[in-house]
């Protein structure tokens, strides 16, 4: 899990920095809005894990598919869903990316092949296998990127899906975001083998651990893995070792881990790390930071305004989209 | 032509595989083994391993993969051996297939057909004999259908595949070996409307799937005692064709629901309540039902038969409703 030697271009560095700041500030704004009761329900924030989404997801092609979990705001943003549509979804407004029907845990977007937003741990893995199967059966070039937490490794579906993907040699890139806690249960308290990547190896899938707090490491790992999946038509697996700085959700009193541990991990903050690296290489000036911050602030301000101004769906439309309207018209049946 | 339910479903599968390149069949032992009830026998040789796809014993993964494949533009038919095993993939069906359209604000439909057998009567004991279709019928977002006749067995799959939403298709395992006459001409049969299989004036017998034949036999027996029963075959368990059910009850003024599910929480209970809500004043007798006894299905034949709805128990219940106590 060596950190990549610094081969950083200014433009790429600034891009990552901006993306990670966009995620961080969006999430922190969501926490504030939650306090104001603008956002309700469960809210799972990504703070601390930004390097994974920012380093990985922009490497996907338009034809690739994405399958995520309930901690997916950052994923959605990096996949190209507008912050406006994400924020409106959090508010439950009809302008949201899921028409307000899904909320924080169920962001969806057909345009970017973003298939959720799944709040069942490991529930997205079989889905990803099927999307990859469909691509392969139709000779489409896509890779399906499937993101999930390390808690999924305890579920049967994790093992069933890895086996199926390897057995059928399907183009799925499994990305485990190992933040060490399945809600409040530490990895060592739930797994006999805590190296998640080793479980994938048991299925014959190329797999490696990655420093998930370092955007460059994430990026080089994902590029290599995607290349292999794409060219060799077989699944890949990356274990991103990361940490969430905040609690599991807004209801979590965080009794299961010490403040010292959280503080230690905060020393590895991916935004601070990258900022320091860029500064050390004289690729970042103070005024760059000011510009970045202003631009991120403007985007967030606009998104909150957009969500505030959004509309509540009419209850007359309550039953809409349970079934496809006017379905079953293809054939005239008897009698 | 003379055929069996098994062959009728195989003909439907062959037709579907021939008719649309996006269709493929996937499940445990559907390929080389030929299907655990021999429904897909020969299809692997005919269509190859890509389109008749054996899966590991991983219900959740392969049903979930079917859902993903449906999202990705395919039209998967996924076979789960029995409804009992489908509990291992209940999450994928209920939490994913049924919810995706709604949760995505209408962006994603899941055009999957999940086939599974249901029902008892073959001395397979508790873990292979249960009738849990009402669990699926409970869930908005799913369409649940149950073919009872040869024509429906062959004719329902096409519309199920044409449906952009997930369809669960229940085949009663006691039907497969039954023989009957089926027209050579292909028809597509309705998966929305219930159908009156026998017209009558005195009582409505409402059932579906494997129990339809017991109900029809009971109706014939009743006719000999002067009771003309109307037999309604639901065909669709979700959504229920309430209008057809009510039309029959308003004509006969009595109803007996026959359902192989357990009485508690049964589909029969739901149908009875709907009749009570909308046709109470049309009734000349209390509603009644014949369901499975509240017991995991036992292995010995006499106990298994005692647990299930039978022709005799249906006849007896109808006499009770008619006020004709023995």
H or E element in which residue A147 lies: strand A144-149
Number of structural domains (chain B) is 2
Picking from B287, B281, B243, the residue whose alpha carbon sits closest to that of residue B266 is B287
Summary mean pLDDT of chain A: 94
pLDDT of residue B190: 85
Q: Can you read off the two tokens belonging to residue B106?
A: 């209408």
Whether residue A269 lies inside any domain: the answer is yes
Beta-carbon contacts below 8 Å between A and B: 179
pLDDT tens digits along A284-329: 999 999 999 999 999 999 999 999 999 999 999 999 999 998 554 4
A102: CATH: 3.40.50.970
Residues B177 and B199 in one domain: no
Please name the residue that has the structure tokens 């996907």.
Answer: A60
pLDDT tens digits along A167-222: 999 999 999 999 999 999 999 999 999 999 999 999 999 999 999 999 999 999 99
Give the integer Cα–Cα distance in Å for A250 and A158: 27
pLDDT tens digits along A100-126: 999 999 999 999 999 999 999 999 999
Among the three residues B181, B204, B223, which one is the final residue of a domain in this structure?
B181
**In chain B, which residue's Cα lies nearest the Cα of A330?**
B162
Give the integer Cα–Cα distance in Å for B127 and A25: 53
Whether residue B186 lies inside any domain: the answer is no
The parent domain of residue B47 ranges over 2-181
Beta bridge partners of B233: B195, B207
Q: Can you read off the two tokens belonging to residue A230?
A: 């794409």
Residues B135 and B173 in one domain: yes
Half-sphere CA count of B83, side-chain side, radius 13 A: 23
Residues B173 and B287 in one domain: no
Whether residue B188 lies inside any domain: the answer is no
Please name the residue that has the structure tokens 């021939």.
Answer: B18
The crossing angle, in degrees rounded to 10, of helices A10-35 and A215-232 is 100
Q: Is the dihedral of CA A244, A69, A273, A187 positive or negative?
A: positive
* Mutation site, A127, A132, A314, A330, interface B, largest B CB count within 10 A: A127
- Cβ atoms of residues A104 and A41 within 8 Å: yes
B145: CATH: 3.40.50.970
Residues B139 and B226 in one domain: no
Residues B216 and B159 in one domain: no
Whether residue A317 lies inside any domain: the answer is no
Give the integer Cα–Cα distance in Å for A238 and A5: 20
Residues B169 and B199 in one domain: no
Concatenating the DSSP letter of every residue in A7-50 gives ---HHHHHHHHHHHHHHHHHHHHHHHHHHTTSS-S-----TT-H
Residues B166 and B242 in one domain: no
Give the integer Cα–Cα distance in Å for A294 and B91: 44
Q: What ipTM does the predicted assembly reach?
A: 0.94
Give the integer Cα–Cα distance in Å for B247 and B42: 43
User: Catalytic residues of B, which ones?
Assistant: 59, 128
Question: In Å, how far from its chain's centre is CA A114?
Answer: 10
Please name the residue that has the structure tokens 């010995």.
Answer: B300
- Would you call A138 an interface residue with chain B, using a CB distance cutoff of 8 Å? yes
Number of structural domains (chain A) is 1
Whether residue B187 lies inside any domain: the answer is no
**Rounded percentage of chain A residues whose pLDDT exceeds 90:** 92
For residue B125, what are the contacts with CB-CB under 8 A and spacing of at least 6? B297, B298, B299
pLDDT of residue A329: 45
What is the CB neighbour count within 10 angstroms for residue A257? Answer: 15
Residue A178 per-residue DSSP state:
E
Beta bridge partners of B23: B75
Cβ contact A133–B72 (<8 Å): yes
B315: CATH: 3.40.50.920
Whether residue A114 lies inside any domain: the answer is yes
Average pLDDT per block of 10 residues along chain B, 326 residues long: 96 97 97 94 98 98 98 98 96 98 97 97 94 97 97 94 97 95 87 95 98 98 98 97 98 98 97 98 98 97 97 98 80
What is the CB neighbour count within 10 angstroms for residue A283? Answer: 18
Sheet holding A236-241, edge to edge: A65-67, A144-149, A172-178, A236-241, A206-211
**In chain B, which residue's Cα lies nearest the Cα of A133?**
B69
The crossing angle, in degrees rounded to 10, of helices B59-71 and A124-137 is 50
pLDDT tens digits along A245-258: 999 888 888 999 99
Distance from CA of B305 to the nearest CA of A (A): 34
């Amino acid at each position: 899990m060596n950190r990549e030697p610094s081969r950083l271009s200014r433009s790429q560095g600034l891009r990552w920095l901006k993306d990670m700041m966009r995620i961080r500030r969006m999430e922190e704004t969501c926490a504030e809005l939650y306090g104001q009761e603008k956002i309700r329900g469960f809210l799972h924030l990504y703070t601390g894990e930004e390097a994974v989404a920012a380093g990985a997801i922009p490497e996907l092609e338009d034809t690739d598919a994405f399958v995520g979990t309930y901690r997916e705001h950052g994923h959605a943003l990096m996949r190209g869903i507008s912050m406006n549509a994400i924020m409106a979804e959090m508010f439950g407004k009809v302008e949201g990316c899921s028409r307000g029907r899904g909320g924080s845990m169920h962001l969806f977007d057909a345009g970017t092949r973003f298939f959720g937003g799944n709040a069942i741990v490991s529930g997205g893995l079989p889905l990803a296998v099927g999307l990859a199967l469909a691509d392969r059966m139709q000779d489409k070039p896509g890779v399906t990127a499937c993101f999930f937490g390390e808690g999924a490794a305890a579920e049967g579906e994790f093992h069933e899906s890895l086996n199926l993907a390897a057995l059928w040699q399907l183009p799925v890139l499994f990305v485990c975001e190992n933040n060490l806690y399945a809600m409040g249960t530490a990895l060592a308290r739930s797994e006999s083998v805590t190296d998640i990547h080793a479980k994938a190896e048991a299925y014959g899938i190329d797999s490696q651990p990655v420093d998930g707090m370092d955007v460059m490491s994430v990026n080089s790992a994902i590029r290599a893995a995607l290349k292999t999946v794409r060219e060799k038509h077989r699944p890949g697996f990356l274990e991103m070792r990361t940490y969430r700085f905040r609690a599991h959700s807004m209801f979590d009193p965080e009794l299961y881990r010490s403040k010292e541990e959280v503080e230690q991990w905060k020393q590895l903050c991916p935004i601070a790390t990258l900022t320091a690296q860029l500064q050390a290489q004289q690729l970042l000036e103070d005024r760059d930071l000011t510009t970045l911050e202003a631009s991120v602030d403007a985007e967030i301000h606009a998104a909150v305004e957009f969500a505030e101004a959004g509309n509540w769906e009419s209850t007359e439309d309550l039953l809409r989209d349970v079934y496809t309207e006017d379905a079953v018209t293809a054939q005239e049946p008897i009698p | 032509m003379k055929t069996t339910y098994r062959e009728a479903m195989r003909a439907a599968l062959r037709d579907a595989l021939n008719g649309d390149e996006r269709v493929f069949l996937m499940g445990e032992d559907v390929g080389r083994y030929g299907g655990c009830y021999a429904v897909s026998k020969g299809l692997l040789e005919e269509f190859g391993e890509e389109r008749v796809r054996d899966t590991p014993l991983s219900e959740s993964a392969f049903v979930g993969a079917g859902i993903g494949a449906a999202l990705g533009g395919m039209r998967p038919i996924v076979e789960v051996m029995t409804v009992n095993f489908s509990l291992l993939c209940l999450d994928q069906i209920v939490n994913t297939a049924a919810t995706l359209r709604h949760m995505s604000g209408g962006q994603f439909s899941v055009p999957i057909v999940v086939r599974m057998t249901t029902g008892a009567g073959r001395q397979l004991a508790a873990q292979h004999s249960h009738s849990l279709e009402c669990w699926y019928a409970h869930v908005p977002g799913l369409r649940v259908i149950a073919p009872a006749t040869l024509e429906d067995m062959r004719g329902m799959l096409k519309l199920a595949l044409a449906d952009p939403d997930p369809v669960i298709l229940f085949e009663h395992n006691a039907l497969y070996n039954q023989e009957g006459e089926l027209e050579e001409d292909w028809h597509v049969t309705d998966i929305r409307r219930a159908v009156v299989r026998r017209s009558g004036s005195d009582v409505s017998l409402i059932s579906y799937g494997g129990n339809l034949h017991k109900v029809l036999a009971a109706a014939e027996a009743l006719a000999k005692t002067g009771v003309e029963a109307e037999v309604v075959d639901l065909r669709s368990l979700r959504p229920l064709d309430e209008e057809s059910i009510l039309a029959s009850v308003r004509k006969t003024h009595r109803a007996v629901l026959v359902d192989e599910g357990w009485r508690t929480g049964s589909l029969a209970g739901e149908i009875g309540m709907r009749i009570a809500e909308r046709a109470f004043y049309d009734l000349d007798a209390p509603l009644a039902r014949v369901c499975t006894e509240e017991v995991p299905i036992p292995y010995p034949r006499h106990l298994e038969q005692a647990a299930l709805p039978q022709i005799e128990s249906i006849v007896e219940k109808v006499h009770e409703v008619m006020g004709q106590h023995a």
